[in-house]
Amino acid sequence: MAAAPEISHRSVEANGITVHVAEAGPEDGPAVLFVHGFPELWYSWRHQMEHLAARGYRCVAPDLRGYGGTTAPPDPSSYTIFHIVGDLVALLDALRLPHVFVVGHDWGAIVAWNLCLLRPDRVRALVNLSVAFMPRNPSIKPIDYFRRAYGDDYYVCRFQETGFEAGFASFDLKRFFKMAITVQTTGSSAMSLKKMQASNKEITLPSWLSEEDISYLASVYAKTGFAGGLNYYRCLDLNWELMAPWTGAKVQVPTKFIVGDGDLAYHHPGVKGYIHEGGLKRDVPMLEEVVVIKGAGHFIQQERAQEISDHIYDYIKKFDTGLSTPKLSKL
């Protein structure tokens, strides 16, 4: 049996910041850009990187602006969707990758939708997980919507508060990540620091998540803190203002969308109807597949690693006739 492809790491200067990038697979293979969410890192894609690298793909997984080994500007307004998409385009330029497949999850899915909206010329095809495209509503700002729908204590609203990230400092980070990633009402949609800190429930890790995985996340976030990730939420209203010219614009990239039926993002009001009753297809005309995975939660690329890896490979391989036969790594 061939050894698993090695994941290498380097720093790349792009868009005025230093981006930490994890890479795997042959340099001359078709490139796949993986975009992580919150509270995550490139590490969320380790299984998919290994799977696709072994099949001849060049896998590129950065820590996004504000995360891990990538620069974290202090000003919250430095985290607009234009900054993040700009970072990715500049990263592709630095790596001399004119076109890539894109795979996104959670906030990374939001970034990936916008990368495709703003620069479809750089994307061969998109596989997005968990968070559907959200067309701009010109009649209400996002934070006003969340306050009306869920109240001031909703995590997105709480994240707007200056200094909220300090609350993570008093947390046992290993316990935090165990709860955040495995809790049944899973994902950042269920994030309440008060409830999490008050809980004394014993946490048993599922088979798909190890103590080593938790330790890696906790050790990185102990160094960086959470301000970078929270600043994405703090730019929601600013993004709404800046994206006004793209009101009604469509995502014109071949797309596959995957969501777990236990993901809270799938159960937000109106989301199921939007996905299954024509809204998503209207806004993403080249949507080719929607996959709902039974019994899966929010961190689906880890929880159902093999299944998601197969879904990604089965979709993108049809764009590469030269890779119709898997080219297993000799590493």
Q: What are phi and psi of 6, to 5 degrees?
A: -75, 140
3-state SS class at 237? helix
User: pLDDT by residue (tens digit) across 49-96?
Assistant: 999 999 999 999 999 999 999 999 999 999 999 999 999 999 999 999
| pLDDT recorded at residue 193 | 67
Sequence-separated (6 or more) residues with CB below 8 Å from residue 222: 173
Give me the DSSP letters along 72-129: --S-GGGGSHHHHHHHHHHHHHHTT-SSEEEEEETHHHHHHHHHHHH-GGGEEEEEEE
Rounded Cα distance, 153 and 163, in Å: 16
Whether residue 232 is predicted with pLDDT greater than 70 in this model: the reply is: yes
Does the pLDDT of residue 187 top 60, yes or no? no
CA pair distance 330, 23, nearest whole angstrom: 17
Whether 150 is catalytic is no
Q: Do the strands 287-293 and 100-105 form a parallel or antiparallel pair, or are they unpaired?
A: unpaired
Positive or negative CA dihedral for 226, 259, 88, 218? positive
Q: How confident is the model at residue 209 (pLDDT cuts 50, 70, 90)?
A: very high
Comparing CA positions, the residue from 40, 89, 83 lying closest to residue 65 is 83
**Residue of 106, 213, 263, 283 marked active site:** 106
Q: Is the dihedral of CA 115, 117, 119, 124 positive or negative?
A: positive
Measured in whole angstroms, how far is the alpha carbon of residue 221 from the centre of its chain? 17
Percent of the chain with pLDDT over 70: 91
Catalytic residue among 43, 67, 233, 274: 233
Q: Calculate mean pLDDT across residues 183-206.
A: 68
79: annotated active-site residue: no
Q: What is the reported pLDDT for 321?
A: 64
Query: Active-site residue among 36, 105, 298, 311?
Result: 298
Question: Sorting pLDDT into bands at 50, 70 and 90, what band is 188?
Answer: very low
216 among known catalytic residues: no
pLDDT tens digits along 120-174: 999 999 999 999 999 999 999 999 999 998 899 999 999 999 999 999 888 899 9
